[in-house]
Structure 1
Amino acid sequence: MDVRASWRGLAGIGTAVLISLPMQNNRNPVPPPSPPPAADPGVEVKGEVSLPPLLAGTFVATVKTWDTAAADERIGHARASGLLLDAGVRWKSSGDCDDRHRPSCTSLEAIRYGTLMRTIDLRRASGCPVTVTGGTETGHAGGRYSHGNGYKVDLAHNRCLDEYVRRTYRYWRTRGDGAALYRPPSSDPDPDPDPDQPAGPDAWFAVWADEPTHWDVLFR
């Protein structure tokens, strides 16, 4: 038996399709997701470590210059140790403490900003491991340019640092306790006889005393 489509049935289907099409066209299409905002290629985001209130602004740990006019400003232990750690410089104490009044501790309390930054400069310039083992804690010799006044740090010996110091600085003289002293080359023909107060155009920079377990370093 032949099966023939009913024209009336087909017409009904066509009408339903025609009715449904406008309904689909009238729907609001879902907008595509917005692309993420493009990064500004001229802006580099860097971590910042705040300095004490007496130092204006903030110190960006990745920069290689610092404000020498602020060299004599004093920094607390927490801020100083944070700046060192951010620059890859370690500090440790035999007593595992940071109390400035205990000689077995290593304290950076009231250290000079210049002393701290020159220690960081050393890490960058030498590429060597640098570990501070002595700071402003009691137990060191006194004097104007002393540990207690924030001018000196003790830095642990290691082969890389030892070679860098002896290659970069020149032997100057031997201190009374037998420690060999090194300092930057200087054109001054008559250096100050006091090893803690070197004269000449490089007097502000450094004197390194080679002690048995560490370098006793004066940064001015």
Structure 2
Amino acid sequence: MKFTLFALLAAAGLGSLGTAEAKKLTHKEATAKLSAAGVKWESSGGCSDKNGASCTSFTGVREETIAGAITLKRACGCSVTITGGTETGHASGTYSHWNGYKLDFKKASGLNNYITNTFTRIADRGSDPQYKAKSGNTYVNEGNHWDVTFFTDGS
């Protein structure tokens, strides 16, 4: 039953699993989608170069990751600001920033309250509190920002 429901949702474009075959976006495509949904982003270096550690780049981000950020904003009903994307300087791995699965979000009271009151607290990642959504996406409080892994396009 679960597989059938998931298959129907996926076929309708309403759900997806993170896969290596997922569509990757250009920086321009990603920012257009984010802007249209009211999701903000900022860069400490004022740049968008994927190879610049002080930049915030969306080059090569998975389409599902951007959809997940938009879903998060809508579900939260609060302001969300992305501070980290696919740029260099983050930890490596399959489900990494570089591979388009992760985004960093600026901490703000509305977002903080939404994450901590909506999602399930799971084992800490190192010493950082971690929360998991029903979608499987994880939210890690890294002190000055939320490190979010989008395995699916749901929040």
Q: Normalising by structure 2, what TM-score?
A: 0.83
What code does the residue aligned with 1:209 have?
V
Deviations 1:106-146 (A, max 9, x none): 00001000000010011111101010100000000000000
Structure 1 gaps, min length 5: 1-64, 186-201
Q: Is the 8 Å Cα contact of residues 93 and 106 (structure 1) preserved in structure 2?
A: yes
Cα drift, residue 174 of structure 1: 1.2
Task: Tell me, yes or no, if structure 1 residue 164 matches structure 2 residue 114.
Answer: yes
SS in 1 for 2:48: coil
2:139 aligned with 1:208: yes
The answer to whether residue 68 in structure 2 is matched with residue 118 in structure 1 is yes
Partner Cα distance (1:101, 1:121) in 2: 28
Superimposed CA distance per residue, residues 157-210 of structure 1 (whole angstroms, 9 cap, x where no aligned partner): 00000000011101101112x11110025xxxxxxxxxxxxxxxx4xx310100
Q: Which moved more, 1:91-100 or 1:65-74?
A: 65-74
Does residue 74 of structure 1 match 2:74? Answer: no
Alignment partners' CA distance in 2, 1:180 and 1:152: 17
Contact 1:70 1:113 in 2 (8 A): no
Mapped contact 1:95–1:104 kept (Cα < 8 A): yes
Paired with 1:113 and 1:219, the residues of 2 have a C-alpha distance of 10
Long gaps (5+) in structure 2: 1-11
CA displacement at 1:69 relative to structure 2: 5.5
Identity of aligned pairs, percent? 41
Match of 2:3 in 1: none
- Which protein is bigger by CA-based radius of gyration? 1
C-alpha distance after superposition, 1:39-65 (max 9, x if no partner) = xxxxxxxxxxxxxxxxxxxxxxxxxx9
**TM-score (normalised: structure 1):** 0.59
User: RMSD of the TM alignment (CA)?
Assistant: 1.7
- In the alignment, structure 1 residue 147 sits paired with structure 2 residue 78: no
